[in-house]
Amino acid sequence: MAAAARRPFWRTLYFQVLVGIALGVLTGWAFPDAGRSLKPLGDGFIKLVKMIITPVIFLTVVTGIAGMADLKAFGRVGAKAMAYFLTFSTLALAVGLIVANVVRPGAGLNIDPATLDSQAVSTYVKAAKEQSVTDFVLHIIPDTLVSAFTSGEILQVLLVAILFGISLALIGEKAERLLGSLRVLTAAVFRMVHILMYAVPIGAFGAMAFTIGQYGIGTLANLAGLIACFYATSLLFVIVVLGLVSRAAGFSLFGLIRYIKDELLLVLGTSSSESAMPLLMEKLERAGCPKPIVGLVVPTGYSFNLDGTNIYMSLAALFIAQATNTHLTLGDQLLLMAVAILSSKGAAGVTGSGFIVLAATLSVLPSVPVAGMALILGIDRFMSECRALTNFTGNAVATLVVSRWERSLDLERVRRVFAGGGGEISEGESDALQMESGAASRPA
């Protein structure tokens, strides 16, 4: 830890990612064609991270559950996590609706829906119509045990990991040798995560250069009011709502943000909260959250606890209604919120998913023209970064809060780790953390 603190600032991940983002913006602005051609750098990095997410989730959940002395506690954790997700996702939708009604970002545009290009959003509408609650639930079950790992579906991997972890726990002492091997494999996988992190600045550079080169900074000015309103609302939700929740749980939100600042920059640079999931899980364990809780809450939260996406849906839907002079009664808005509560579940924390969920929500509310989504298509990429940042922060808070509810969180340790500034975890610390977590979770 001391060694990491003495590291020159230019060698820290935080500084390198910041430089990558800045260079990406400059490249995309000054050389748009070159910026667009750099898209493979960002895509390649996200693919590298997705490659490692499956084993990270599987190993973390399996070793965590198998090492628990009380399996009933795992079910209790799941119930508490889902209660948290439902409560705060709904609250995020309500905050978005309130702000949209007060600020009215779309008022005065007077857009005729007939003049909008419905073909521009047809792909998203088609994808939305293919999704239903029943399909989503059935999709959690993989076709085969192996396909859960090859498909890259987080919830499928989580289901298999939970079942396998419970099975190992029920076997008891006979499974200790396999469990020990899995803990060593977990340490090796997290070492691989740190190797991949050397490519973070390059990935952030390529993703940001493409975004600016493809959509242009000028796009921001066209709908600056909506973008500013969304960012301000998300910031308000994080500081006020999540800040109060954090304070009630006994830890500092700003301390947490300082602690995960490297990961937040990574999310900003790639517009994907998935890109930082392995590092978030590792840091939350380091802060004192039990491995089983981290393994359950974080991956599940990526599908069920999407505060940023919910705020976006409320604001975007009312913006379209206001811009096209479509009057929505209180009943219409409550229906919109009810539909959004369901449609938002299962939206992965990747670029573009929020737009698909918005299409699914508007499809159920015929009074709002779905073609109005064309108004915000050009700026969706810029808003996806805020969605991802808010979702990411919300899941970090949720994990700490659920750990606190389970009385499994040492607040003194949390405050001490947060006060350390959240420096990068060295490879040696990572290995020690994984082995320590495994040992600590063994039944007495």
The string of pLDDT tens digits covering residues 130-140 is 555 566 677 77
User: By residue range, what is the domain housing residue 212?
Assistant: 2-440
Which is nearest to 304 in space by CA: 344, 335, 356, 271? 344
Give per-residue pLDDT as tens, 182-207.
889 888 888 887 888 788 788 888 88
Distance (Å, whole) CA 325 – CA 301: 36
- pLDDT exceeding 70 applies to what percent of the chain? 78
Query: Which two tokens mark 401?
Result: 């809060």
Higher pLDDT, 110 or 293: 293
What is the pLDDT, as a whole number, of residue 247? 94
Higher-confidence residue of 108 and 30: namely 30
pLDDT average, residue stretch 84-89: 91
Q: Which of 28-32, 94-98, 104-108, 111-115 has the highest mean predicted lDDT (pLDDT)?
A: 94-98
Would you mind telling me the total number of residues written for the chain in this entry?
Answer: 444
Nearest-angstrom CA–CA distance, 50 and 56: 10
CA 314 to CA 309: how far, in whole Å?
9
pLDDT in tens, 366-414: 677 777 777 776 667 778 888 889 999 999 999 999 999 988 888 999 9
DSSP letter for each residue of 40-102: HHHHHHHHHHHHHHHHHHHHHHHHHHHT-S-HHHHHHHHHHHHHHHHHHHHHHHHHHHHHHHH
Segment 133-159 mean pLDDT: 78
pLDDT band for position 354 (cuts 50, 70, 90): low
Number of neighbours of residue 32 by Cβ within 10 angstroms? 18
- Torsion sign over Cα 429, 430, 434, 435: negative
Q: Which of residues 365 and 97 earns the better pLDDT score?
A: 97
Question: Any idea what DSSP says for residue 370?
Answer: G
Say yes or no to pLDDT of 111 above 90.
Answer: no
Task: Give the chain's radius of gyration (CA, Å).
Answer: 22
CB 347 within 8 A of CB 136: no
The separation between CA 171 and the C-alpha centre of its own chain, rounded to angstroms, equals 34
Count of C-beta atoms within a 10 Å radius of residue 421: 14
CB 10 within 8 A of CB 169: no
Find the DSSP H helices in 305-410. 307-323, 330-343, 353-364, 380-405
Query: 235 vs 424, which has greater pLDDT?
Result: 235
| More confident: 433 or 418 | 418
Most confident of 56-65, 241-250, 351-360, 425-434: 241-250
Task: Look at residue 238 and tell me whether its pLDDT is greater than 80.
Answer: yes
pLDDT of res. 25: 84
pLDDT, greater one: 191 or 71:
191
Please name which of 387, 402, 330 lies closest in space to residue 87, comparing C-alpha atoms: 402
Contact in structure between 187 and 282 (CB atoms under 8 Å): no
Total count of domains within the chain: 1
Which whole number is the average pLDDT over 97-111?
83
On average, the pLDDT of the chain sits at 79
Of 34-38, 244-248, 276-280, the range with the highest mean pLDDT is 244-248
Q: State the residue for tokens 């109060």.
A: 244
Q: How many CB atoms lie within 10 A of CB 195?
A: 11
Q: What angle do CA 426, 429, 432 make, to 5 degrees?
A: 150
* Of 82-91, 274-283, 416-425, highest mean pLDDT: 82-91
Calculate mean pLDDT across residues 305-318.
Answer: 87
Question: In the predicted model, what is the mean pLDDT of residues 165-189?
Answer: 86
Alpha helices in 172-290 (DSSP H): 176-196, 200-215, 218-222, 224-236, 243-249, 253-259, 261-270, 277-287
- pTM of the predicted model as reported, rounded to 2 decimal places: 0.76
Residue 379: give its domain's CATH number.
Answer: 1.10.3860.10
Q: At what angle do helices 154-171 and 71-103 cross, to 10 degrees?
A: 160
CB 155 within 8 A of CB 141: no
Assign 429 a pLDDT band (cuts: 50, 70, 90). low
Q: Judge whether residue 239 has pLDDT over 90.
A: yes
Average pLDDT over residues 235-248: 95
Q: Confidence band (pLDDT; 50, 70, 90) for 108? A: confident
Residue 97 has pLDDT above 60, yes or no: yes
Lowest-confidence range among 70-84, 231-245, 367-381? 367-381
- In this predicted structure, what is the pLDDT of residue 439? 45
Residue 19, Cβ neighbours under 10 Å: how many? 14
pLDDT-derived band of residue 349, with 50, 70 and 90 as boundaries? very low
pLDDT of residue 274 exceeding 90: no
**Please, what sign has the CA dihedral across residues 208, 209, 210, 211?**
positive
> Would you state the pLDDT for residue 414?
92
Residue 321 confidence (pLDDT) above 60 = yes
Determine phi and psi for 101, rounding to 5 degrees: -75, -30
Query: How many Å apart are CA 442 and CA 392, to the nearest integer?
Result: 29
